[in-house]
Structure formats: structure tokens, C-alpha cells
Amino acid sequence: MSRRAATLTTASVIVLVLAIIGSVMRVPYVALTPGPTSNTLGTNDKGQPLIRIEGRQTYPGGGHLNFTTVTYRGGPSGRIDLLTALRGWLADDTAIVPEETIFPQDETPKQVDEENTRQMENSQQNAEAAALHELGIPISTRVIVEGVQKGRPADGILKPDDEITAVDGAKVTNVAQVTGTMAKHKIGDTVTVTYTRAGKPHTATLKTVATPGGDRAAVGIVIADQYKFPFKIDISVGDIGGPSAGLMFSLAIIDKLTPGPLTQGRFIAGTGTITANGEVGPIGGIQQKMIAARRAGATVFLTPKDNCADAAASRPDGLRLIRADTLHGTLQAINALTSGKGPIPSCTR
């Protein structure tokens, strides 16, 4: 055998061995790729309106207001192999990130999924509240127990989904009122909590203990505001989690509750968390979401201001970026876009 043939044979064997090793060696990374997009003005995978409103007049819309998603491969229960990670690092539409970015070390995959589901539910609530606030439709709130800390005074007494109606006899309708009353107590004081469970009122007297920081009195419950709307808004997105569709939900709700199509037939996609006050927040996976939007046919992408620099640096051809700071400002930008009148905030590096 010639020296050249021997060298080629040896190299081929080495490549083959490395390929075999790479295909079986699991690495603690996750591959993020563009996920499906869904038109909030359209239907879900069951053929039902993605957003359904009952008890209030609605108006037909048109065009697209798509929320975008990111698909991931990997995780503690099914790690990707080294070759997949290497291919991802070389691909324009894939991001390879450390496993703990998606799966914190102190949480199980099940807990991560449950947290994503909770974030989606909260996102929908905030989106509905922000939309109605923007339209001047009054809403009210109530205080719901989200969790009870094990071993604390409320453990075994209060349960998730209980509604807190009064503290020390004073009616409460939001979290700020509860925390304001608790702030008046010293560690070791007793506090009377009135709550409803399955429509029935209950009262519990609890002795306060120190918070984990040791500086405030607490009884060991996690509470949150839950909004009470004057009519029914149902958002059905299937098995999708996380908070990043909030902005697009709010825009679609406003479109359905106001005459005339907001998009004027344009294909607009976007992303961004939303607060009940209409503030738009940043999200992860902006590059993959832009690619998903452009592949679906979007020509405009609504981008949270804190994601603008990264978005501008990797914007797909044919996709115009509009900076989204608030729900109100985003509505103004869309109206300026469709009318051709007024400034349109854009993303820059």
C-alpha cells in the first residue's frame, strides 16, 4: 500500500471513529430552532377561533397578527449528541445554548413544563387586562393563592386557587392591599385571613413567621392578582407555554373589539411579554422567531425594544422591524404603517 493510500485510510478511520463518538456522546446543550407560528386572528389546530369573545360585540378582522415560537431539542431527559450540537453551531437558523438556560439545575423538566404553562396562563390574563385597559373597559381584580410554602403557618390550611377576600377583617381585592396590611404586622403576630374555596367562605387565624430574608412577617403563601372581566375571553393555543405571546394576544383582542381590521390585510408577526398596564417586555430566541415569521410569510415583525439590537443584527431579508415599547405605542405604529402617516419606531443596533 502506498504512503498516500495509507494516510487516506488512516484519516478515514479516524473520521469514522470521531463520527461514531460524536453520534453517541451526549452533551448538556439544547438546540433552539424556529417553531410554528399561529395567527391570533385565525383558528387553532382544532379549527376553533384561537381567540373567542362572548358577551360583547365583536367585529370581523383580516390579515395576520401571528405570535411566534421556538422549538427546542435536548434537555436532561433527552440530551442531544455532539454531532447535532456541532451542526447546530454551523446552522444559521439554530442556536445551541447551555442546558441550564432552559432547564435550571434546581428544577425538574416537569417543573419547567408546569412553569411554562403557568406563564402562558398569566400572559393571557395580562393580555386581556391590557387590551381592555387600552379600550377603556373597566375590569376588577381578586387575590388568588398560587402556592403554599411547606412547613409555614398556612400549610395544610390554605390551598392553591383559594380566593383571599379579607385580611384582619378589611376587604381586599388586589395583592397590594394584602401586602400593605401584612406590612403592619410584626413577626409573631397573629393575622386573620378570610378566604373562599369552592364558593364557600372560611376564616383562618395564623401566627406570622419571618420571611426567608428574616425582616418581614409572613404566613407562607404565594398570591397573585386575578382579573375579573365583564365578558368572556377564551384563548386556545394548545400545548404552547411561556409568556412571549402576550403582546400579540392583546393586539388581536383589540382588533376583535373594534370596527375595521387593524392590519388592513398585512401579514404582521411579533413577540413580547405584556403587563396588565400594557408594557412590552423582552423575550428569548428572537433570531429563531424572526426566521419563523419570515418563513410563514410575515413582512413586519413587532420587536420588544430590549431585543432590538439583537434583532437588527440578524434580521431576515424582507422583514421590517417595528420597535414595541408599549401596547399603546405599538397600536400607533401599526396605524401609522397602514395609513402611511406618522412616525414608525424601528429597531437599530
Catalytic residues: 244, 289
Task: List the grid coordinates of 253.
Answer: 383582542
299, 266 in Cβ contact below 8 A? yes
Residue 183 phi/psi, 5° resolution?
Answer: -65, -20
Adjacent-strand bridge partners of 26:
81
d(CA 190, CA 301): 53
Type of residue found at 107: E
Instruction: Compute the distance between CA of residue 226 and CA of residue 244 in angstroms, rounded to an integer.
Output: 19
Enumerate residues 6+ apart whose C-beta is below 8 A from 19: 83
What is the C-alpha to C-alpha distance for residues 348 and 308, in angstroms, rounded to an integer? 6
Under 8 Å between Cβ of 315 and 290: yes
Q: Within its chain, how far is the Cα of 166 from the centroid?
A: 31
Q: Which residues have CB under 8 Å from 16's CB, separation 6+? A: none
CA separation for the pair 23, 29 (Å, rounded):
14
CA distance 240 to 237: 6
Nearest residue to 72 (alpha-carbon basis) of 217, 188, 241 = 241
Interatomic CA distance for residues 154 and 27, integer angstroms: 42
